Amino acid sequence: MSEIKENKYVEEVKQNGSNQPENLCCTCQTGPTTITNESQCKEQCCRPKTIICQDIREAKCIPALIDRIYDYVCLESEQTRCAKDKTFEIIWAGTENWNDLVGKEVCINTITLQYDCLGIQNGNIETEIGLNQTVLLNYDPCSQCSNPTCQQINTEYNGSIPCAGKGCCENGRTRKVCQSDIIPDSCFLYIIVEGTAGCIPFKAQYLVDNLAKVDGSGLGFKYVDFFGQVCLPDDRKKVNLRATFDVCVSVPCVAPKGAIKNITPVEPVQPVEPPVHDAVMMARVPLYSADYGFDANIFASLLVTEKLYVVVKDEVAVYTTPNTLSCTNGGFTFNCKTE
């Protein structure tokens, strides 16, 4: 068959009266091939994966082992504090000669809080259940502050406790919960104020190095205690406890106690650098403190909220439709295609 085709090809060439077939080089290409793609490295907003349920008549019942919330309580602790005689450092002024600020009375217009993270400083939290059971809730490493210099700050804790139920309750039995000496903390919390000194606009900052510390650059908040009541199952040998904390700081007022003056420059605990803070923060907070400032009282409030979950393992039967989850690489596209 191959020889027949070649002979036929020769015949066609002779009939055309040419030594070369027509359009022989129409698809020839000279030079390198260039492929240009838009960069797909930029991180974008995304949504949790959802699926479209198929016909319910195709669903199958399968067994599953799940973590079920048996009970949970929301506990709150709020306190206020007047931190006295705190020195704010001038970081920007609407004049080239900052010495013009000295002696001018201060008027504050806006107050801004800026921080890396807020949370709890404790490595573990001693939790008393009932009157004679104590469990240590240990911090969850996944909840540590994202700033590597503040990894002692956490927001989630886990632990487990054996149940001492006697089976006399059909479902569960209430137990008192008591926690004490929980230490709220912050990572690079700046109180930034804007206002005028005389008629000159300025911006000043105060770095809080500890929410609970009284002296130095602390705000002097007290340690936090919680108490409440949870329902524990009466027919289980063990339950898991999970605590999540939310820390909120508010500063409604900064009251200047005098005019702007010369102060001794003090470097922050950690200079603000681009790898840690973005360009917007760099524009607000300088690398080193200024030589001018003023004393003020800081009126602040602290709200610490805890959600304490009682979690049990349950064997359940769930309805599901097979082959409904589609697996992707997360959104990258490629030039090379597979047949």
The one-letter code for the residue type at 46 is C
Residue 315 and residue 63 in contact, taking contact as beta carbons nearer than 8 Å: yes
Residue 228 and residue 275 in contact, taking contact as beta carbons nearer than 8 Å: no
pLDDT in tens, the chain (339 residues): 444 444 444 444 444 444 554 544 445 556 676 767 677 676 667 677 777 777 777 788 889 899 989 899 999 999 999 999 999 999 999 998 888 999 999 999 999 999 999 999 999 999 998 878 889 999 999 999 999 999 899 999 999 988 765 655 557 788 899 999 999 999 999 999 999 999 999 999 999 988 987 777 889 999 999 999 998 887 778 889 999 999 999 999 999 999 999 886 555 544 444 444 444 343 434 434 458 999 999 999 999 999 999 998 888 888 887 777 666 666 666 666 555
Distance CA 124, CA 243 (A): 11
As given in the structure block, the two tokens for residue 195 are: 């206002």
Instruction: Please tell me the predicted confidence (pLDDT) of residue 78.
Output: 95
Distance CA 83, CA 327 (A): 55
Instruction: Please tell me the predicted confidence (pLDDT) of residue 7.
Output: 46
Nearest to 158 by CA among 130, 138, 173: 138
Name 172's Cβ contacts closer than 8 Å, sequence gap at least 6: 70, 71, 165, 231, 232, 233, 234
β-sheet bridge partners, residue 231:
174
Distance CA 255, CA 273 (A): 30
Separation of CA 105 from chain center? 39
Backbone angles phi, psi at 143, to 5 degrees: -100, 5
Distance CA 187, CA 221 (A): 15
Q: Is 96 helix (H, G, I), strand (E, B) or coil?
A: coil
Distance CA 54, CA 50 (A): 13
Q: Is 281 helix (H, G, I), strand (E, B) or coil?
A: helix
Distance CA 144, CA 121 (A): 10
